[in-house]
Structures are given as structure tokens and as C-alpha cells.
Amino acid sequence: MGGIQVGNLCHNVGSAARTMMDTMDAIRNILADQFWFSIVLGLVVFGGIQGAVAYAILLERKISAWTQDRYGPNRVGPYGILQPIADGLKFFLKEDIIPANVDKALFIFAPWMIFVVALVGFAVIPWGGSFKWGWMEATAKPMVVQVASVDIGLLYIVAVSSLSVYGVVLGGWASNNKYSFYGAIRAAAQMLSYEVPMGMCLMAAILMTGSLRLEEMVDWQARHGWAVMYHPIAALVLFITALAEANRMPFDLAESEQELIGGYHTEYSALKLALFFLAEYSHMITSSAMMICIFFGGYLVPGWEWLNTTPTFGAALVRVAVFAFKIFLFICLYMLIRWTIPRFRFDQLMRLAWKGLVPMTMTLVAAQGLVLYMGWSQWTTTAVNIGVFLFGGFVSVAGGKAVTGRQLSLRRAEAMG
């Protein structure tokens, strides 16, 4: 009897071991297939961005406290690290108020639209290059740490990010509130204006690298160096336009508390208000990733050959960590600017876009096209960028108007009165 029991036990152990081996083989086959790996990667990146958004809000409150010489959140958990959880619970548990005079369907749809639009842009970001699993054959095709590799990757991000203006405008208009409506109109004018110099900066990068694929732009920089060396002004203008697209200070005219209470989201509360904040920070992360891929080498580190060229999973993880660290630096810069530079007046904001950034970026695109056509060295564009910067500074100092708190039209009206 004892022998039979031992035999059954051995049989059960063997069956469990075979089942586990079959399961491991199935998992390996899934991870070795680019389609399923991209799905898994998309879920992981989505969760990572949402976690990063929660703690980016805490980081902003800590940075604002540091710049203002105070403590910031420090009550919920050690050093306040559990504050995002408390804030999330607060938004979930608060009463969701929908005013009686709003367009209810659009009022509910607007925050969800802007939230979804802010999230889908990360799909074409190359997070860590390519690698091979340890169990893959030498002739197998490498895995790509990217959710979707499409021929129009950069155009996809620009198109998706441009849709965010619809959520802002719909939210402001559906609220049936004059402050919300003013904020929505400001946001529409601002986003449409700053998309022009943004497109020019991206056009210069496309002409330089010869591709719309972000991963190929990163590969180009692996051979020629970071693109910011050749187009520093284009990189700076792209960052400025990213601030404007995300309605970040000093471009937060759409929600300025001193004038419009809260702008387009004045009437929102609870989870719907939280979606606007989540969309803003998600957009910051996606736009930072895009700028890093185009001008700052993506996941590459100059001179670190093991990181840049090794096709192993460990090296890919380090590349992802390098990419995340660069995004972290950009987010910190976003936040420092918010608590350092005062808000523009709206006419100043429009003048900066159309009389400053648009002519500068058009010059850079023309210069890059001429360099490409004539076959000149790419360093020629660096000299052009320096010349554009010096000429723009000269025009600003020599012909610029004094920055005051009053518009010239108001002064003339007072004089006539």
C-alpha cells in the first residue's frame, strides 16, 4: 500500500513538473512573439505612466515647496510619499456635481476624451531599442521595446496630441460658464498658434534624419551624435511649444486662477476634474519622451558602448532606465519653470508665437533644406542656429517694446478720455 502511495505521489509530482514546464514554454513563446510582447509592454507602460503621473503631482508639490522655502506634503506616510494615494481617494470619494445648465453629454465626454488622447501617444515611443531573450535562437528576429513601430510615428504623436484641444474646448463650452468659455477659447487660439512653430521644429528634424520613425531618429543620433548639437534653437523652441500645448506655466492662460477661476475646468469636480490633471501630466511625459527621441538621443548615452549596442534583456532594461531618467529631468524642468517664470499676458503670448518663434523656425527649416540639397556638413546648421539666436536677440533688444502691465490701446483710450 505504501509503495502505491509513493508511486502516485511521484506521478503527481512529475505531472505538476511537466505542466509547469509546458506553462513556461507557453510564456516564452508568447514573450518571443513581437505581437504579444507589444501587448504586454503596452499594459506595463500604461501602468507605469499612471503611477508616474500620480507621483509627478507629488513631485511638483515638493519642488514648489523647495522653491518657496517650505516643507510641502509631509503628513501622509514617510516624507509624504503616500500623498498621491490620499489624493486619489479624495477624488474618487468627493461628490460628483454636474450643474443643471450644462450640456450634460459633452460635459461628461470632454474629460474622458482628453484623458484618452493623452495616453495613446506613448505607443510609438522606442523605450529601449531591441534585444533577444536568452532562449531565442541566434537567427531569430530581435524583440523591439516598442508597442507599435509605424512609418509615420512622429506624425502619429503630433496628430494625437493635437486632438487634446477638442477636450479643452468641449469642456469649456459645455460648462455654460463664461469663465470656462473664455478659457476654452484661449486654449484653442494658443494651441493652434504654437503648433505652427512646433511643426517647423519637427520638419527640421525630419529633414535632418530623413525619417518619421522615432526609432530611426534615435539610430541616426547613434551615428552622428545628439541632434540638439545641430539644432539647439529648434530643440529649445520645441520645448517651449510643448509647454504651450500642455497649458503649463507661463502658458496657462486657459486656466489662470487670478482671471478665470479655473478656466475650462471651473465647473468640474471629483473624478472628472482628476482626469484633466491626469491628462496634463500624461501629456508632459509623452511630449518629453518625444523630444528626447528627436533631439536628446533617446535611450542612448554617448560613449557607453555596452548600453548602446548590447542586444541583451539586461542592457534593454538599463536603456529603459536611462530613458526614464531623461524624462524625469524634463519633468523637473517643466515644474521649475512653473514656479519661476510669471504668466504671459495673452497678447504677449500670441506675439511670441507669430512674430518670434514662427520666423525663427521657418529660417531653420529653410537652412536645413539648403544643407540637405547642397550636401554641406550638418554642422552648418549649428552655425545657422547661433546666427538665428543672435539676430533674434538683437531684434528683441533693439526694436522690442517695453513690457508693462498695460496694453497700448488702453493707454490711447485713457489719453483720449
Residue 1 lies in a domain: no
Residue 274 has a pLDDT of: 83
The band of 239, judged by pLDDT with boundaries at 50, 70 and 90, is very high
Supply the range of the domain harboring residue 191.
Answer: 84-416
Distance (Å, whole) CA 160 – CA 153: 11
**Contact call for residues 217 and 297 (beta carbons, < 8 A):** no
Nearest to 124 by CA among 88, 90, 150: 150
Instruction: State the amino acid at position 8 in one-letter form.
Output: N
Give the number of other CB atoms < 10 A from CB of residue 207: 17
pLDDT, tens only, 64-112: 888 888 888 888 888 888 888 888 888 888 777 787 788 888 888 888 8
274 within a domain of the structure (yes/no): yes
pTM, rounded to two decimals = 0.85
Q: Is residue 142 part of a domain?
A: yes
Q: What is the pLDDT of residues 157-204, one digit of tens each?
A: 888 887 877 888 888 888 888 888 888 888 888 888 888 999 899 999
Residues composing the chain: 417
- Report yes or no on 357 lying in a domain: yes
Per the domain annotation, does 258 fall within a domain?
Answer: yes
Q: What residue type is assigned to position 67 of the chain? A: T
Is 59 inside any structural domain?
A: no
Nearest residue to 243 (alpha-carbon basis) of 334, 341, 353: 334
Unique residue bearing C-alpha cell 509647454: 243
Whether 181 maps to a domain, the answer reads: yes
Which residues in 291-308 are b (16+ Cβ under 10 Å) and which e? bbbbbbbbbbeeeeeebb
pLDDT at residue 223 greater than cutoff 80: yes
Number of independent structural domains in the chain: 1
Give, in order, the Cα–Cα distances in Å from 45 to each of 119, 132, 148, 197, 212: 10, 20, 12, 29, 22
